[in-house]
């Protein structure tokens, strides 16, 4: 996997547990030039805590690491988290408007369906956690 296909950020190891490592990533000015910035919310917050797979490497608390994720996984995550719910919202709103449902009820019903959508995503979080894996390596 080439570097052009990766989203990378430097981070500090916060906690090591078995094969999982908790890493704190600080958004930096480097985010502005990152090719994956459109698909990543790192530039919106100062600190971000993520779980990464250690792949049997030894890491220690306070160690600086490089966190990596495939660009295609980042785009797919944006699709599931933002694009699909927006489409669901618009479809429900337009359909309800077509059936002459009052605007207030159309809005409420659409928001309820979006909440259900995110609840279903939450139920399948195990599958998503297996697919969208951050990897780390020593710097």
Question: What would the two tokens of residue 18 be?
Answer: 């078995």
pLDDT at 99: 96
Bridge-based pairing of strands 134-138 and 6-17 is: unpaired
Distance CA 68, CA 57 (A): 15
Distance CA 83, CA 64 (A): 34
Average pLDDT of the segment spanning 18-38: 71
For the CA atoms of 106, 112, 115, 117, the dihedral, rounded to the nearest 10 degrees, stands at: -80
Distance CA 136, CA 132 (A): 13
Are 23 and 13 in contact by the 8 Å Cβ rule? The answer is: yes
pLDDT at 39: 60
pLDDT bin (cut points 50, 70, 90) of residue 35 is: low
Instruction: Indicate if the pLDDT at residue 40 is higher than 70.
Output: no
Question: What would the two tokens of residue 41 be?
Answer: 């919310």
Q: What is the pLDDT of residues 90-102, one digit of tens each?
A: 999 999 999 999 9
pLDDT at 133: 81
Q: What is the pLDDT of residues 56-112, one digit of tens each?
A: 678 999 999 998 888 888 899 999 999 999 999 999 999 999 999 999 999 999 999
Q: Residue 57: CB partners within 8 Å, gap ≥ 6?
A: 136, 137, 138
pLDDT at 134: 86
Write down the pTM of the prediction. 0.67
pLDDT at 123: 97
pLDDT at 43: 52
Distance CA 6, CA 93 (A): 37
Closest of 125, 123, 44, 114 to residue 86, by C-alpha: 114
């Amino acid at each position: 996997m080439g570097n052009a296909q990766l989203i990378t950020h430097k981070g500090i190891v916060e906690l090591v547990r078995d094969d999982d490592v908790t890493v704190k990533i600080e958004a930096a000015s480097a985010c502005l030039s990152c090719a994956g910035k459109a698909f990543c919310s790192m530039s919106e917050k100062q600190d971000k805590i993520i779980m990464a797979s250690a792949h049997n490497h030894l890491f220690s608390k306070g160690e600086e690491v490089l966190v990596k994720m495939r660009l295609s996984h980042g785009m797919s995550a944006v699709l599931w988290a933002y694009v699909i719910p927006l489409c669901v919202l618009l479809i429900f709103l337009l359909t309800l408007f077509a059936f002459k449902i009052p605007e207030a009820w159309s809005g409420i019903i659409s928001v309820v369906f979006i909440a259900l959508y995110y609840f279903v995503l939450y139920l399948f979080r195990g599958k998503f956690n297996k697919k969208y894996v951050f990897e780390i390596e020593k710097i």
